[in-house]
Amino acid sequence: MPDGDTIYINGINGETGEYLLPPMGVEDMAAIAIGEPKNTAKNNWLAAIWHKIKTPFMGLPLGVDPADVTQAGWGIVFLKDEDAAVKAALQPLIEHRKKQIHNDAIVKILDYTPGEKYEAWLGRNGVSPGSTIPSKVPYYLLLVGDPAQISFEFGHLLDVEYGVGWLHFDTPAEYATYAASVIDYETSSSVPNGKEAVFFGTRHPFDQATKMSADYLVNPLADGISAAGSDPATPGVAQQWGYQTKKIGGNDATKANLIDALCQPADRKPPAFLFTASHGMGFPSGSPAQKASQGALLCQDWPGFGTISPNHYFSAADVPAGARIQGMVIFHFACYGGGTPDHDQFVHDPGQPPAQIAASPFLAALPKTWLTHPGGGALAVIGHVERAWGYSIIGAASTGPQIQTFQNAIGRTLIGQPLGYALKDFSERYAALSTSLSALLQQKEWGQKVDPDDLVTNWIERNDAEGYILIGDPAVKLRANDLA
């Protein structure tokens, strides 16, 4: 680890300018991991599913390509008592998918009853875990509704076997805006974007967390990885797939420069892909700023611990009216960049109930603003529910950055695979790491010696892999062949 036995946890308090959680020692974090409530049934299911989802067909019938929406199917899941106006607003998207797929048997309109468990929901729709049958439950599923009613846990578990996306807006008009933007992008004769990927990453010299994310994530993703021993050099992920790369890093990763990257002049096409890595802002439960700015991106403008203001971070309120983001895919590596649960999912005193961190779960405001921009919205946003665990990308000194999951997800996105499928490596990693963590904790219970470093590393990596979600329709994809 870059700083001995101290683990720096991502996220900055929007009221104090300090870390949301103070740096912790390995032994302290190991105690938290050991004290995590055990769910044997869930762990056994993940172990069984892991072997299924590693196969080329992801548990689908033999011959069904999971990367092809016309074979794997598409479904939309509404809350059982969803507002009729919301359903009407998304009806054009439903009709568009029907026209695209040409097989109504694998286009489904499903419902969800608040509180319904994952296994019960699948059973009610005629399938069981480990068996994906598109004519009953299609592979691509768009969950529509408030995370307070369709829980993040339900979505996380569903996402292990299916390609899942989320939508929740405040008004039916916003749903209609997003649907219209997607349909326009997919049906227009040309695309609004250039074949370019932008990587934006802060690096504060006084902050171990962003030094780590810059050096071990943004730089190798954008610039590539040098040869080491018998391992050859690898190019940056965008270059590898024929895209131009623009990196805005370190001292250049200011709020103004991020805005400039979004507001290209009329004679220049905006990028097709934006990746950001920074601290995400966090606010106490009950704070009037929480819903508006939780997960906002802390920029290089931040002068240091103990000082904070809205001038230092990029929130939904900062998205320019003139931003050109239609057709863009955006990936935020930031705490709470995708959403916030109501209770702390991981860090609390062993044996004690988790602290309440929000009145109710919610999707972050910034992704919702990206998707509903009046000039045309982004196709989708990849973000993190809960913390983004930066130490998940750290390997031993001899192995370098451990970022293949990111490389694969971004690569699949850039070659034009549906985003619900492009993120499959995170789901596979979550299932595999959950299985490994369960085995380590079992060994500990049996009195066997378990290395605290191994336990903590596995626990952090599991937490990080679990938290990624897709906000938007999981069937959307870049029109890679039309980009120039």
Look at residue 5 and give its three-state secondary structure.
Answer: coil
**pLDDT of amino acid 458:** 83
- Copy the structure tokens of residue 467: 């938290």
Where is 107: in which H helix or E strand? Answer: strand 107-112
Residue 351 confidence (pLDDT) above 80? no
Residue ranges of alpha helices (H) inside 323-423 are 365-371, 404-414, 419-422
User: Which of residues 191 and 22 earns the better pLDDT score?
Assistant: 191
Q: What is the mean pLDDT of the chain?
A: 91
CB 160 within 8 A of CB 208: no
Strands 140-144 and 74-79: parallel
Q: Which residue, chain included where needed, has tokens 């120039």?
A: 484
Distance CA 313, CA 291 (A): 15
> Within 10 A of 397 (CB to CB), how many other CB atoms are there?
8
User: Which of residues 395 and 204 earns the better pLDDT score?
Assistant: 204
Residue 417 confidence (pLDDT) above 90? yes
Q: Which residue, chain included where needed, has tokens 């819903």?
A: 291
Residue 138 confidence (pLDDT) above 50? yes
**pLDDT of amino acid 147:** 97
Residue 444 confidence (pLDDT) above 80? no
Model confidence band, residue 51 (pLDDT cutoffs 50, 70, 90): low
Model confidence band, residue 1 (pLDDT cutoffs 50, 70, 90): very low
Distance CA 164, CA 365 (A): 19
User: Which of residues 191 and 48 earns the better pLDDT score?
Assistant: 191
- Copy the structure tokens of residue 200: 């934006």
Could you tell me which of 205, 201, 199, 197 has the C-alpha nearest to residue 241?
Answer: 197
pLDDT digits (tens, 9 = 90+) for 211-256: 999 999 999 999 999 888 888 889 999 999 999 999 999 999 999 9
Look at residue 7 and give its three-state secondary structure.
Answer: strand
User: Which of residues 137 and 56 earns the better pLDDT score?
Assistant: 137
Could you tell me which of 289, 290, 261, 291 has the C-alpha nearest to residue 275?
Answer: 261
Distance CA 171, CA 182 (A): 18
Q: Torsion over CA of 122, 127, 131 and 134, rounded to 10 degrees?
A: -100
User: Which of residues 449 and 57 earns the better pLDDT score?
Assistant: 449
**pLDDT of amino acid 436:** 82
Cα 267 to Cα 192, 194, 260, 271, distances in angstroms: 11, 11, 14, 13
CB 475 within 8 A of CB 71: no
**pLDDT of amino acid 197:** 98
- Copy the structure tokens of residue 60: 């689908």
% pLDDT > 90, the chain: 69
Least confident of 24-33, 264-273, 319-328: 24-33
pLDDT digits (tens, 9 = 90+) for 366-376: 999 999 999 99
**pLDDT of amino acid 397:** 45
Backbone angles phi, psi at 74, to 5 degrees: -145, 140
- Copy the structure tokens of residue 422: 């492009």
pLDDT digits (tens, 9 = 90+) for 283-341: 999 999 999 999 999 999 999 999 999 999 999 999 999 999 999 999 999 999 999 99
> Within 10 A of 382 (CB to CB), how many other CB atoms are there?
25
